[in-house]
Amino acid sequence: MNPFASRPLPRRQFVADLGLGFTGLSLGAMLFGDGVARAASETPPDGQPHFPPRAKSVIWIFLSGGYSHVETFDPKPALTKYAGLTFDKTPLENPLNSPKHHARFRSVTAQEVNVRDVYPTIYPMQVGFGKHGQCGVEITDWWPHLGECVDDIAFVRNMWTTDNDHFAENQIHTGRHRLEEQQPTLGSWVHYGLGTMNENLPKFVVLGGPTNSTTRYSIDSLYLGPQHGGVPLALDPLNPLPFGRRSAQQSAAEQRNEYELIAKLNGLSAVEYPADAQLRARIHSYELAFRMQSAVPEALDFKPETEEVRKQYGMDADATRPAGQKLLAARRLIERGVRFVQVYPSGYGTWDSHQKLKEKHTQLCASVDKPVAGLLRDMKQRGLLKDTLVVFCTEFGRTPGLERRSGGTDGRDHHPHGFTVWFAGAGIRPGIVHGETDELGYHALGDGHYVTDMHATVLHLLGLDGRRLEVPGRKRIDMDYGKVIREILA
């Protein structure tokens, strides 16, 4: 029942033929498509990759609050060995004396206002660990399901970032520290650079986030324009996006009639003004809107999924259901051609274990372990992992030392100097560990990887070169582009 089936204008007059993506027919792009450039406008990317891509789409899983790298994917027996000693009392090099300490980190708060404390007393590992898979990668015992998937995963253990507070959640997505000029988020660059695979769905979807009013930068397109921003979808198929549901005072037939008349009236104007690109974009946007109203709910409707699949994602248990639903929705969106799905399995700051780390991490790991493993297995079985890159990350690690603030006895503070993320799927060398932190898990060794190296890697696998996505008048610096982590590429 598509009211546009009989619209009065020949199809070729519509912008769909210009190859423009969904949720964004920017005016600049529209006009350029007609060979008409508005002042200061630039040639937008043509939607084609710069070189043959290894991946078509991305699932970016972000855990907010900072999981403890040493109690997840970078176990450090030395912490248990030297537990209770201060850094300067171990035979190891004191990480506080490393020049990396000053070079890599910058406090948001001014020195005269506040400096976060440094906690030098070593806190033992709160969980055991063991080798997993053919590759024998060591991860902790809090990941029984993921432990069975390590042969599909490439771990990067020498990540670092520069903010020691939660704005780092934005930073891992934008590449910039709180005190610097903000940049568009990774998903927006992907949206900007690549065309659509299903114009009835947004190209860049956000599930379960942004987690907080302060984390908008993690989905924001800023100067690229709102059409390239992440579109948060609610998991409710009845009402997944703002204004995406027909008014209760109106029947489907009535609404269809309205859309039909809108198309007819705008079509009459289009006959009169054939050169009006904005008008044609508007007409097309109504076609898309009408289809989106059904396409988005369909993608988020789990009814067609079998019981077995739901169980695989842990949707049969309270603890794992929230993460499972989001990840299953992510798979369904990827299946339907969404480019970039940014998933927040846990809420804002949930992993932030200043106190009661053991108790919190036990619960939190259990809440995502099975769903994430389920996603990898399901994607692999369906052949989706061949074309989809899965990234799993957090904003920073946690201190090897015991946090003593407010009399704390059982937690770790924020730690930007070293943390672990992992990649799986399209173009990734499976079953490997790349990079390391020192024996105490303090510093990422070698050059390590700043967060934009993750961006460079993602863009590279999608066939994009960040430096070729330049926007005139918007200066980016070297650090924004990052370097591809070649060691983890297949």
Partner 1 sequence: MDVPLVLRGRAVAALILLAASAAVAAPGPDFTRDILPILSAHCFECHGPDDADRKAKLRLDVPEGALGKGESGDLAIVPGKSAESEVMRRIASADADEVMPPPKTKRKLTARQIELLKSWIDGGAKWGQHWAFVQPKRAAFPEGSAGHSIDRFLAAKMEQPPAPEASKPALLRRVSVDLIGLPPTRDELQAFLADEAPDAYERLVERLLNDPRHGERWARHWMDVWRYSDWYGRRLVPDVWNSAPQIWRWRDWIVRSLNADKGYDRMVKEMLAADEVAPGDLEARVATGYLVRNWYALNPNQWMRDNVEHTAKAFLGLTMNCAHCHDHKYDPLTREDYFNFRAFFEPIYVRQDRVPGDADPGKYQDYNYSQVRKIVRAGAVTVFDKDVRALTWLYHGGDERNRQTERAPARPAPPGFLEARVQVEPVKLPTSVSFPGGQSFVRQDEVASAKAALAAAEAKIKPAGVALTSANEKRLATAGCRPEHVGEQERVLEDADLALRVAEKQAEAARVRQEAIAARIAADDAKFLGAPGELPKLAAAAGQAEQQLAVAQARVAALEAEQVLRANDEKVSAAADPKQRETATAARKKAEIDRDLKKQALTKAETAAQKPATDYTPLSPVYPRESSGRRRALAEWIVGRENPLAARVAVNHIWLRHFHTPLVATVYDFGRSGAQPTHPELFDWLAVELMESGWSMKHLHRLIVTSGAYRRVSASAEAAPKDPANRTYWRMNPARMEAEAVRDGVLHLAGQLDGRMGGQELETADMATSRRRTLYFASYPEIGGKGELTGLFDAPDPNDCYRRSESILPQQALALTNSQLVHEASGAIAQRLWAALDEPQRQPPAFITAAFEQLLSRAPAAAELAECTAFLTRQADAAKAAAKNTDGAARARDSLVRVLLNHHEFVTVK
Task: Name the minimum Å distance from CB 399 to partner 1.
Answer: 18
**Contacts of partner 1 in 28-67 (CB under 8 A):** 30, 35-40, 42-43
**Contacts of partner 1 in 364-423 (CB under 8 A):** none
C-alpha–C-alpha distance, residues 442 and 215, integer Å: 26
* Angle between helix 252-272 and 277-299 (nearest 10): 160
Of 80, 98, 198, 255, the one binding partner 1 (CB under 8 A) is 255
**Contacts of partner 1 in 173-212 (CB under 8 A):** 179-182, 210, 212
Site track 108-127 with partner 1 (rule: CB under 8 A), x = hit: xxxxxxx-------------
171 near partner 1 (CB under 8 A): no
Task: Name the minimum Å distance from CB 463 to partner 1.
Answer: 16
Q: Where are the alpha helices (DSSP H) in 67-200?
A: 77-81, 99-104, 168-174, 186-193
The DSSP result for 199-220, as a single string, is: TTS-SEEEES---SGGGGGGT-
Of 52, 91, 446, 473, the one binding partner 1 (CB under 8 A) is 473
Residue closer to partner 1, measured from CB, 208 or 427:
208
Burial label for 170, CB within 10 Å (0-12, 13-18, 19+), is buried
Task: Name the minimum Å distance from CB 279 to partner 1.
Answer: 5
**Beta strands in 97-250, from DSSP E residues, in sequence order:** 129-132, 137-140, 153-160, 204-207, 231-233
Site track 303-322 with partner 1 (rule: CB under 8 A), x = hit: --------------------
- Integer-rounded Cα radius of gyration of the chain: 24
Amino acid at 199: E
Q: Are strands 419-425 and 153-160 parallel, antiparallel or unpaired?
A: antiparallel
**Contacts of partner 1 in 143-162 (CB under 8 A):** none
Listed ranges 21-29, 55-63, 299-307, 330-338: which one lies at the site for partner 1 (CB under 8 A): 21-29
Of 1, 11, 275, 478, the one binding partner 1 (CB under 8 A) is 275
Terminal-residue alpha carbon distance, the chain:
46
Residue closer to partner 1, measured from CB, 229 or 371:
229
Site track 212-251 with partner 1 (rule: CB under 8 A), x = hit: xxxxx-----xx-xxx---x---------xxxxxxx-xxx
Of 2, 48, 269, 381, the one binding partner 1 (CB under 8 A) is 269
Task: Name the minimum Å distance from CB 11 to partner 1.
Answer: 18
* Angle between helix 451-461 and 186-193 (nearest 10): 20
How many residues bind partner 1 (CB under 8 A)? The answer is: 83
Residues contacting 248, CB < 8 A, separation 6+: none
Of 3, 24, 297, 314, the one binding partner 1 (CB under 8 A) is 24
Backbone CA torsion sign across 115, 116, 117, 121: negative
Kind and range of the H or E run holding 31: helix 27-33
Q: Which of 74, 101, 75, 73 is nearest to 87 (CA)?
A: 101
**Contacts of partner 1 in 277-296 (CB under 8 A):** 278-279, 281-283, 285-286, 288-290, 292-293
Site track 443-472 with partner 1 (rule: CB under 8 A), x = hit: -------------------------x-x-x
Task: Name the minimum Å distance from CB 95 to partner 1.
Answer: 19
